[in-house]
Amino acid sequence: MSVAVTDAEIRQLLMETAFAKLYGFQLLELGDGGCSLTIPFQDAFERPGGIVSGPVFMAAADVAMWVAIKTRLGLSDGSVTVEMKTNFLSGAKREDIRCNSKLLKVGRRLIYGTAECLSADGRILTHHTLTYIRP
C-alpha cells in the first residue's frame, strides 16, 4: 500500500495542531500504518521525584496512533480516540523519548493499534493499546 500523506504534511500538522505543538513532537519515520515520533525532553514534563510524567507518554502514544491512521486514511480523516490502555513499565529521567505506533486493524467503524515509548537506549518505558472510532 502507498502512504496517504507525506512526511512534510505530517510535520506541518504536528507544528500547527495545538495539542501536538505543546509537546514538541518531531516526526522520525512515517510508513504505511505506522510512525515514529521523538518527544524532546522539557522541564515541564517532570513530576515530583524527577521522572517524566505519565500524561507525556499517553499523549505521545495518542498522537503517534493519530499519525499512523493518517498514513492510511489521509489528513482529512476525523477519527478520534475511544479507548487507551497504558502500561507503565519503566521510568525516564531528563531524556528524549521515542514513540512507535502500528495499526493492527482498520475496520469500517473501529481502528485498533499499539504504541510503545522507548528510552534513548532502547528500554521499553510504556506499552499502549488504542482504539479509535471513525466518524
DSSP string, 41-104: --GGGB-TTSPBPHHHHHHHHHHHHHHHHHHHH-TT---EEEEEEEEE-S---S--EEEEEEEE
Asked if 20 contacts 56 with a C-beta cutoff of 8 angstroms, the reply is no
pLDDT of residue 2: 83
- CATH code of the domain made up of 7-133: 3.10.129.10
> Quick check: helix, strand or coil at residue 16?
helix
> What values do phi and psi take at 133, rounded to 5?
-115, 140
Q: Full-prediction pTM beyond 0.85?
A: yes
Mean pLDDT by 10 residues, the chain (135 residues): 92 95 97 98 94 97 98 98 98 97 98 98 97 97
pLDDT at site 41: 97
